[in-house]
A and B are shown apart, each in its own frame.
Chain A
Amino acid sequence: MSRPVAQLQDIRRVYRMGSNEVVALDDFSFSFGRGEYWAIMGSSGSGKSTLLNILGCIDRATSGSYKVDGEETSELDDDDLSELRSRRIGFIFQSYNLIQQLNVLENIQVPLFYQDDPPPDGHERALALAERVGLGGRLDHRPRELSGGQQQRVAIARALINDPALILADEATGNLDSKTAEEILALFDELHGEGKSILLVTHEPDVGERAENVLRLRDGRIDSVDEGQRAGA
């Protein structure tokens, strides 16, 4: 396995619900290699969303260690975690989650806006990415004026603007028809081809099969790991 881009060690995540404790992740240890394309699968309640939130640094583990790109996150404060998200993580959501007040070009640049020391070429990068996802002609459209597939393309461009170490996609094709979903998945294949590290959470087997490797979760633990699925196929 290549040098890990995301390394989880003895991760426990416990939610308190009144007097009950719900263990979402239980002594979870795993490493995702750089440049790998993983599908994370499991039934609802298996802990895959919790895992994704921890991987994306928007949630913290109750205990354990998590390293992104070699950097330990458990000691970071809120500002540092935010900065880390804006530099190393690219989020893609099921419901696109674009900001309604902003046009395509502005939406793509949002992560740069929050960096402490944003790169000077953000505008050019955003233009290039919009072109790349096929929205070069709709730069000043608002999200409402775009179809679902187009919105998800904007979201992908946004996830790429900071040249992230890790792209996290949460049911990225869940709201799309099969043809559009296929286009988005093709885009992921392309990104994987370029050496990006992609973690895709899904419950659809079809989608999961597109990934290089599959990690299955059950009850907050690893159920199975299929490596080199496509290579083997």
Chain B
Amino acid sequence: MNEGIFVRTVRLGIRSLLLHKLRSALTTLGVLFGVSSVVAMLAIGEGASAEAQEQIRRLGSQNVILRSVKPPEDAVSNQDTRVISYGLTRDDLRRVRESVPGVRRVVPLRELPEEVRNGDRAVRPRVLATTPDYLDSTGRVMDEGRWISEVDEQRTTNVCVLGYEVARRLFPFSSPLGERVKIGADYFNVVGTLLPRVRLGDDPADAGVDSTGEVFISLTTGQKWFGEMLVKQRAGSREMEEVQLHEMIVEVERDVDVPFVAAACRTMLAREHDELDYEVVVPLELLMRAEETKRIFNIVLGSIAGISLLVGGIGIMNVMLATVTERTREIGIRRALGAKRRHIVIQFLVECVVLSVGGGLLGIALGIAIPLGVERWADMRTVVTPEAPLLAFAISAGIGVIFGLYPAWRAAHMDPVEALRHE
């Protein structure tokens, strides 16, 4: 019986609303836009943050990355020699390996400013000299062939692995496997190629680097052929730099130790280096910062959405107050026929909820359609989490109740005699 009354009340509410189709439709628009903006903005925000988090995770949340940073010119002590020496050293590498607890392995990287040629095709990628551990530590994936081995490292063999982009540029028509490329003045056998890695976008640590424009050789081979000195060509002048290691990827055993390892590295480097010619990048910290950014974003978004829903709710309240006045006589009739105050309250509340939930459902549909469009035309990733539409639905129903209460209360507390006399 109760269910019957409920269904009847809802049906009556819908019928009453249909007496004024345009007015009801316009009223739902307020909620519709409020709800759709909530759903759409959540989806876009969620997509952006998911993307950022994925990029950071790709750096390895278990890693701590140490990088050499060229100090400002005037801070360099021996100006006149034209040889600038800075950055991480092999001693640093040894110290991290030996004295920082909780470290699984440390992968050193050296970047060589060399040209890579195949006949008359030439590119200037990042030529990276590293150890065999690099592949595992970064989670890069081989396309063809094999990675640099321990044996290559021990024997300082002239083998290299090409990044996807370099392989494509130097060998557009055939597989580079088994071919030879010229790095600087020496020839190297290509033993493997890597799959592309999605660009790291906004991550400051990797900004502007086309990460597929890479060629890898073993660290020992690099040292053998290219030495410690880096010669950089600048407009009309040469600059000599001495950098032993450009980067160290410190892989930590357990996630929870990452902050301690990072702190230990910082302390150690601060002790050994006179000036700040290095930086410590902790992807986990970036991740936490990204979470914080997301939180702030959600607060801003929540406020905007809240305001638009508030406006929608006020719209409903406004229209319901007008409706109550207009239907004063109907209220009087119902009261005379025995309707209790709660019956009148429920009747008008149901109408408000039908309006707001109707707007809410349409808003959810629009709110899901907008991210699809954004993904299609703006090439941005979006994620519609299942909670977003549910939340939006609950909010819209809540708005109906909250903003309907006062009009419904007013309707229920009219004097039946006065209401019946109303024209």
Chain A residues in the interface with B (C-beta under 8 A): 53, 56, 58-59, 78-79, 82-87, 89, 91, 93, 97-102, 110-111, 113-115, 118, 158, 162
Contact = CB atoms under 8 A, between A and B. Distances in A.
B97 interface: no
A53 B417 contact: yes
Contact of A101 (B1, B16, B329): B16
B96 to A, nearest CB: 79
B334 A99 contact: yes
B336 A100 contact: no
Given A58-B335, A58-B416, A58-B417, A101 B12 contact: yes
Contact of B340 (A82, A100, A101): A82
A111 B340 CA distance: 11
Contact of A97 (B8, B15, B333, B338): B333
B12 A85 contact: no
Interface string B305-349: 000000000000000000000000110011111111111000000
Q: Is the interface of B mostly helix, strand, loop or mixed?
A: helix
B337 A101 contact: no
Given A82-B335, A101-B16, 14 more contacts: A53-B417, A56-B336, A58-B417, A58-B420, A82-B341, A83-B340, A91-B336, A97-B336, A97-B420, A100-B330, A101-B12, A101-B19, A111-B338, A114-B339
Contact of B330 (A59, A99, A113): A99
23 contacts: A53-B417, A56-B336, A58-B416, A58-B417, A78-B341, A79-B342, A82-B340, A84-B338, A85-B338, A87-B338, A89-B338, A91-B336, A91-B337, A93-B420, A97-B420, A100-B19, A100-B330, A101-B15, A102-B12, A110-B334, A111-B338, A113-B8, A118-B1
A110 B337 contact: yes
B334 A79 contact: no
Contacts of A98: 333
Contact of B339 (A82, A87, A91, A102): A82
B336 A58 contact: yes
> Which of B338, B417, B420 has the most chain A CB within a 10 Å cutoff?
B338
A129 to B, nearest CB: 15
Interface residues of B, number: 23
A56 B336 CA distance: 8
A78 B413 CA distance: 10
A78 B336 contact: no
Contacts of B1: 118
A111 to B, nearest CB: 5
B127 to A, nearest CB: 80
Nearest to A120: B1
Contacts of B342: 79
B337 A114 contact: yes
Contacts of A97: 329, 333, 336, 420
Interface in B1-57: 1, 5, 8, 12, 15-16, 19
Contacts of A58: 335-336, 416-417, 420
Given A59-B417, A101-B12, A101-B15, A114 B340 contact: yes
A97 B335 CA distance: 12
Identify the interface centre among A59, A97, A102, A162: most chain B CB within 10 Å of its CB: A97
Contacts of B416: 58-59
